[in-house]
Amino acid sequence: MLDIQKFIDEKKHIEIINHIKNLDFVDENALNILAKVYFDYENFYLSYNLNVNLLSTTYKQIYLDNACLTLNKLIQQNMSYVDNVYELCDISIQLNIVSFELLLLIYKTINQLENNKIYDYIKTLYDKFDVTDMNKNILFKILSEIDRNTITNYSKEFIKKEINNENISDDFLLNYLNVNKKSININTLLLLLTKLINPQTLFESKNDIINDYNRCLNNYKKINDMFQNINFFSNIDIINKTCDIITSYYFCYYGFNCIEIYKEFNKLLNNLSTCFIKTINKHIKTNKIKIGIISVFITQEHSVSNDRLGIIKSLILDDKFDVKIITNKQPSQFYNQIMNNNDNVIVYTGLISNLISKIIDLDFDIILYPDIGMYFPYKLLTMHRLAPIQINTWGHSETSGIDTIDYFISSTYYEPENAQNFYTEKLIKLNSLCTYYYNRLIIKNIHPNHNRYLFGMTKNQHLYCCMITEFKIHPDFIETLIEILEKDKLAIFIFISFKIDIDIFTSYLEIFFKNNMHHVKIFEMMDFTKYMNFLNCVDIVLDSYPFGGCNSTIDAFNVNKIVITLPSEKLSGRFSYGFYKKMNILEPICDSKQDYINKAIFYMNNIDERVILENKIKENKHLLFEEIESVNNWKDMLINLYNSIV
């Protein structure tokens, strides 16, 4: 022990190594001193031939880590030492030790190493040892740099096992995908695509959202470059059966222009298969305008049917139009109550390929898709050219990004001047609300009460209703709620969520509210009568942003509630703004986050002012229901489009 310390102090490296080699047993304390010293002698790392297997795991780790540090220093001075990395790989296996320092050294020198040898070491390491997440992180980075021909044979079991590991790098997965693109099986392909391009939800900051968007967009572009001219799927039914786990749906809640992502999604499906029909046979007009409406939700009691049924009914009743509704669900009681009959409904639940043939046989002049993106099989339909004119409108209030969809129908009440920038379709802005909205309170003969005690809420609480579900919520909106709470200690923020998601939503909100979760209440989804009674009990409704309310805003106005709103740039955050414009009520429209906070606090604390504004809403809300201008605008627009067909 003393001899070793003496040699260390005098930096007599040869004497140190010779002394240790002559020992029958390497004392752990001696090796500990040795391992902790940062040597610059080039032969120190070769001391692995000592009988270190007799040491404890801790000392083996110290020994190997410091040997790697020493070799790293030598390589920086002279690259000829890089071949000794392989020796340290052998030591690692012999000692049963996974060294982060060794993995880091490999990563730094990967371009000078033989990929096959490193590949064999990594595979042995992964298969033999329990690799920590920290070590996996650098391991994945190494694999992403290994020559493509080497990684070709990398274990598919590894991919399946580690696909959801947050440390696995996108570069590694992209590399693997590129090498195996012509031979990869469908399940592995879809597993990789969901990891690489599916959007996340429940973010903690706006920067996290931006980073995820950029990550997905970059991955889309790289994958589309890989899959050009590769007809991976032979027919539409296989795509429909397998690819519904790939989605671009949740990008609409990110709060900015996602048009490039949507275009890349469309491009990806077209790259994966050539089965999409892009042209139609010569079209012959008849004496009526044949309109096809393809939607999974239109015959149900749903926000899509709330928005669109009134317009559709008016078209059915007009002799100029021959309307057919194609769906996969039998008409609901709500649908039948409004439409009186379902003679125009075609319910089809078979193969998508057969449905395409049926649609072609119907020979529509115009097809309307009111909820593109909300049901994958029908999104596949939109990627075909099945009519001379194909249009999109707000059900899912977002551009499709699909080159076979020609127009998006919206309104001057909602859309800003630069709105075309958010659409791949040509935007048509009607001079109306663009919806013939039925008053469901009247249809269902509901008279909401005002008993907040039934919902476990008291008279003295300041009830702010936030009409947004967990997957739509944006961290900027939650931060605004936190600032409102700082100024209003009586505030209770109320959310409604699906029962299955309440625990997840609660955990997410705890990140922001921390010890103030007693100011948050999350209710389970309710039937419409109970929901309207509930809504009638709150004090103020807070329109979320950047993705805001539409149906929920009309529901709030229907019980005369003030909806504080901060319009965003896109349609999905501008419905409340448009409804207020229609009613000529401007007070609750905000121009900044601070204005939003101030108005929420003002109308909560000033009851007289609140009542004045509520009465104003009560007097003007009728303007939002059964607007005849919307019916006329839709008819004129469809006739003009029909006349444009050559």
More confident call, 355 vs 396: 355
Residues β-bridged to residue 428: 409
State residue 142's pLDDT score: 78
Q: Is residue 56 a part of any domain in this protein?
A: yes
State residue 463's pLDDT score: 97
Q: How confident is the model at residue 412 (pLDDT cuts 50, 70, 90)?
A: very high
Which of 275, 299, 329 corresponds to the end of one domain?
275
- What DSSP string runs through 154-200? --HHHHHHHTT-TTS-HHHHHHHHHHHTTT--HHHHHHHHHHHHPPP
Q: Is residue 175 a part of any domain in this protein?
A: no
Of all residues in the chain, the percent with pLDDT exceeding 70 is: 87
State residue 7's pLDDT score: 58
First to last CA, the chain: 97
How does pLDDT run across 203-260, given as a tens digit for each residue?
Answer: 999 999 999 999 999 999 999 999 987 888 888 999 998 888 899 999 999 999 999 9
| Least confident span in 171-180, 224-233, 311-320 | 171-180
| Least confident span in 89-103, 468-482, 603-617 | 89-103
Q: Which residues contact 142 (CB under 8 A, 6 or more apart)?
A: 103, 106, 107, 110, 118, 122
Which of 165, 196, 211 corresponds to the end of one domain?
165
Structure tokens at 365: 């002049």
Q: Is residue 281 a part of any domain in this protein?
A: no
Does position 57 have pLDDT exceeding 80, yes or no? no
Q: Based on the fold, state whether residues 317 and 398 are members of the same structural domain.
A: yes
Q: Based on the fold, state whether residues 373 and 484 are members of the same structural domain.
A: no
Q: Is residue 267 a part of any domain in this protein?
A: yes
Which of 165, 191, 224 corresponds to the end of one domain?
165
Q: Based on the fold, state whether residues 204 and 264 are members of the same structural domain.
A: yes
Q: Based on the fold, state whether residues 157 and 11 are members of the same structural domain.
A: yes
Does position 44 have pLDDT exceeding 50, yes or no? no
Q: Based on the fold, state whether residues 252 and 309 are members of the same structural domain.
A: no
State residue 619's pLDDT score: 98
Rounded to whole angstroms, how far apart are CA atoms 501 and 504?
A: 5
Q: Based on the fold, state whether residues 313 and 358 are members of the same structural domain.
A: yes
Q: Based on the fold, state whether residues 131 and 50 are members of the same structural domain.
A: yes
More confident call, 409 vs 195: 409
State residue 223's pLDDT score: 96
Identify whether the C-beta of residue 384 lies closer than 8 Å to the C-beta of residue 406: no
State residue 157's pLDDT score: 56
Rounded to whole angstroms, how far apart are CA atoms 14 and 144?
A: 40
Q: Which residue has 């992180």 as its token pair?
A: 137
Rounded to whole angstroms, how far apart are CA atoms 534 and 528?
A: 10
Does position 54 have pLDDT exceeding 70, yes or no? no
Q: Which residues contact 512 (CB under 8 A, 6 or more apart)?
A: 475, 478, 479, 481, 482
Q: Based on the fold, state whether residues 453 and 560 are members of the same structural domain.
A: yes
Does position 330 have pLDDT exceeding 90, yes or no? yes
Rounded to whole angstroms, how far apart are CA atoms 182 and 173?
A: 15
Q: Based on the fold, state whether residues 416 and 551 are members of the same structural domain.
A: no
CATH of the domain at 565: 3.40.50.2000
CATH of the domain at 411: 3.40.50.11380
State residue 511's pLDDT score: 96
State residue 47's pLDDT score: 46
Residue spans of alpha helices (H) in 300-351? 303-316, 333-339
How does pLDDT run across 66-110, given as a tens digit for each residue?
Answer: 778 878 877 888 888 888 888 888 888 888 888 888 988 998 888
Q: Based on the fold, state whether residues 510 and 410 are members of the same structural domain.
A: no
Q: Is 312 exposed, middle or buried (0-12, 13-18, 19+ CB in 10 A)?
A: buried
Range 538-556 average pLDDT: 97
State residue 152's pLDDT score: 47
Q: Is residue 176 a part of any domain in this protein?
A: no
Listed ranges 127-136, 166-175, 482-491; the one with the highest mean pLDDT: 482-491
Q: Is residue 171 a part of any domain in this protein?
A: no
- What DSSP string runs through 90-145? HHHHHHT---HHHHHHHHHHGGGS-HHHHHHHHHHHHHHS---HHHHHHHHHHHHH
Domain count, the chain: 4
Q: Which residue has 């699909």 as its token pair?
A: 402
Q: Based on the fold, state whether residues 296 and 340 are members of the same structural domain.
A: yes
Q: How confident is the model at residue 23 (pLDDT cuts 50, 70, 90)?
A: low
Identify whether the C-beta of residue 393 lies closer than 8 Å to the C-beta of residue 368: yes
Q: How confident is the model at residue 130 (pLDDT cuts 50, 70, 90)?
A: confident
112 is in which domain, residue-wise?
2-165
Q: Based on the fold, state whether residues 232 and 246 are members of the same structural domain.
A: yes
| Least confident span in 74-88, 326-340, 370-384, 393-407 | 74-88
Q: Is residue 146 a part of any domain in this protein?
A: yes
Can you list the pairs that 383-388 forms with residues at least 24 positions away whose Cβ atoms lie under 8 Å?
383/266, 383/269, 383/270, 383/276, 384/276, 384/277, 384/278, 384/356, 385/277, 385/278, 385/279, 385/280, 386/277, 386/280, 386/292, 386/356, 386/359, 386/360, 387/280, 387/292, 388/280, 388/283, 388/645
State residue 376's pLDDT score: 93
Q: Calculate the average pLDDT of the chain.
A: 87
Q: Label each residue of 481-499 as H, E or C.
A: HHHHHHHCCCEEEEEEECH
Does position 611 have pLDDT exceeding 90, yes or no? yes
Residues β-bridged to residue 409: 393, 428
Q: Is residue 282 a part of any domain in this protein?
A: no
Does position 156 have pLDDT exceeding 80, yes or no? no
